[in-house]
Amino acid sequence: MPKAYLVAHIRVHDPEEFERFKDLSQHAINEHGCRVLARNPNPEIKEGDVSGTVILIEFDDIAAARAFYASDAYRAARAEREVSATTDLMLVEGD
């Protein structure tokens, strides 16, 4: 079964509030046993106009990624993120 990935571009406009998101999202990550492969506030942009912190999280499969995104733990984190940042987020199934 192919791995799955959460890819996010996060543009923070309230750093203090964003710290709460980071704490809550780490709890969700720990709870779901997924793996953060990259977290970089200064990615090297080669094309396009996406900016901000890039997050790449690996899951065992797309069902696990969907379960993480829909979980109560991540829903609480997402609520904090939505007041502190603008985000582009996608779930991607890999090979």
Report whether 54 contacts 60 (CB < 8 A): no
pTM assigned to the model = 0.92
Side-chain half-sphere CA neighbours of 78 within 13 A: 12
Confidence at residue 95, expressed as pLDDT on a 0 to 100 scale: 77
4-43+51-93: CATH number: 3.30.70.100
DSSP three-state, residue 94: coil
Secondary structure letter of residue 2 according to DSSP = -
Q: What is the pLDDT along the chain (95 residues), one digit of tens a residue?
A: 899 999 999 999 999 999 999 999 999 999 999 999 999 999 999 998 888 999 999 999 999 999 999 999 999 999 999 999 999 999 999 97
Q: What residues does each domain of the chain span?
A: 4-43+51-93
Can you read off the two tokens belonging to residue 67?
Answer: 């379960």
